[in-house]
Amino acid sequence: MGGSFFCYKLEKRHWNHNIFILNEEEEKMKIIMLGAPGAGKGTQAKKIAGKYGIPHISTGDIFRANIKGGTELGMRAKSYMDQGQLVPDDVTIGMLLDRISEADCQNGYVLDGFPRTIPQAESLTEALAKRGEKMDFAVDVDVPDEAIVTRMGGRRACLKCGATYHVAFNPPKTEGVCDNCQDNLVLREDDKPETVQKRLSVYHDQTQPLIEYYKGQGILVTVDGTKELNQVFQDIVAVLEA
Give the residue among 7, 12, 51, 15 at the shortest CA–CA distance from 31.
Answer: 51
Say whether 41 is catalytic: yes
Could you say which of 9, 116, 151, 156 is catalytic?
116
CB of 43 to ligand AMP, least distance (A): 12
**Distance of closest approach, residue 196 Cβ to ligand AMP, in angstroms:** 10
Mark 6-45 with x for binding to ligand AMP (rule: CB under 6 A) and - for no binding: -------------------------------x--------
Q: How far apart are CA 26 and CA 165, in angstroms?
A: 35
CA distance readout (Å), 67 to 156, 186, 194 = 18, 16, 21
When the beta carbons of 5 and 121 are compared against ligand AMP, the nearer one is 121
CB 141 → ligand AMP: shortest distance, Å?
12
Does 225 help bind ligand AMP (rule: CB under 6 A)? no
Measured CA to CA, the distance from residue 173 to residue 178 in angstroms comes to 8
DSSP 15-73: HHHHTT---GGGG-EEEEEE--TTSSHHHHHHHHHHHHT--EEEHHHHHHHHHHTT-HH
Does residue number 221 form part of the binding site for ligand AMP (CB under 6 A)? no
Distance separating alpha carbons of residues 228 and 218, to the nearest angstrom: 27
User: Does 49 engage in binding with ligand AMP (CB under 6 A)?
Assistant: no
Among 28, 116, 151, 155, binds ligand AMP (CB under 6 A): 116
* Active-site position among 28, 30, 46, 155: 155
The sign of the torsion formed by the CA atoms of 47, 153, 80, 69 equals: negative
Map residues 181-210 to x or -, x wherever contact with ligand AMP holds by CB under 6 A: ---------x--------x-----------
Nearest approach in angstroms of CB 8 to ligand AMP is: 30
Q: Establish if 63 lies at the interface with ligand AMP (CB under 6 A).
A: yes
Quick check: 201 and 145 in contact, CB under 8 A?
A: no
The window from 17-25, 66-74, 112-120, 145-153 that contacts ligand AMP (CB under 6 A) reads: 112-120
- Other Cβ atoms less than 10 A from the Cβ of 120: the count is 20
